[in-house]
């Protein structure tokens, strides 16, 4: 049972445009959400996070939005750059174990 879902395995965007990556979760006890970025042959690196007491967090070109009622979060990258091409994982924490649960990942390709 996948508690954190990324329904789009891949996304292709033109350089300079906005990239929107989506993530849905099922556990209402989750209270902290993170996005990680992963390049081939490297480990994931932390990108941005948001607590459930907020609905938006911004860091440079990256903004994460949280809609608690819909159990949905999204990562916006504006403007997208070719170096943003990577696999993006969303992750959530909270509930009984309080350990990070990851989604399945979305491969973003930013075309020059």
Q: Which residues bind other proteins (CB under 8 A)?
A: 4, 6, 32, 34, 36, 41-46, 49, 89, 91, 93, 97-105
Neighbour count for residue 33 (Cβ, 10 Å): 25
Number of helices (H), then strands (E), belonging to the chain: the values are 0, 11
Token pair in block for residue 79: 């403007």
Nearer to other proteins, 48 or 109 (CB): 48
Distance CA 93, CA 100 (A): 5
- The least CB distance from residue 44 to other proteins, in Å, is 5
> Closest separation between CB of residue 30 and other proteins, Å?
13
Based on CB atoms, which residue is closest to other proteins, 4 or 77? 4
Q: Could you tell me the smallest distance in angstroms from the CB atom of residue 99 to other proteins?
A: 6
Q: State the minimum distance, in angstroms, from the CB of residue 73 to other proteins.
A: 15
Residue (of 34, 50, 28, 38) closest to 102 by Cα position = 34
Terminal CA-CA length for the chain: 38
Residues in the chain: 112
């Amino acid at each position: 049972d996948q508690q954190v879902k990324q329904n789009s395995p891949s996304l292709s965007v033109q350089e300079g445009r906005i990239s929107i990556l989506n993530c849905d979760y099922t556990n209402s006890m989750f209270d902290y959400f993170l996005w990680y970025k992963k390049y081939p042959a490297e480990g994931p690196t932390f990108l941005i996070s948001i607590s459930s007491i907020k609905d938006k967090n911004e860091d440079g070109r990256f903004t994460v939005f949280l809609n608690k009622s819909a159990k949905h979060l999204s990562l916006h990258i504006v403007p997208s750059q070719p170096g943003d091409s990577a696999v993006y994982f969303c992750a959530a924490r909270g509930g009984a174990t309080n350990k990070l649960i990851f989604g399945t990942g979305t491969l973003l390709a930013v075309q020059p």
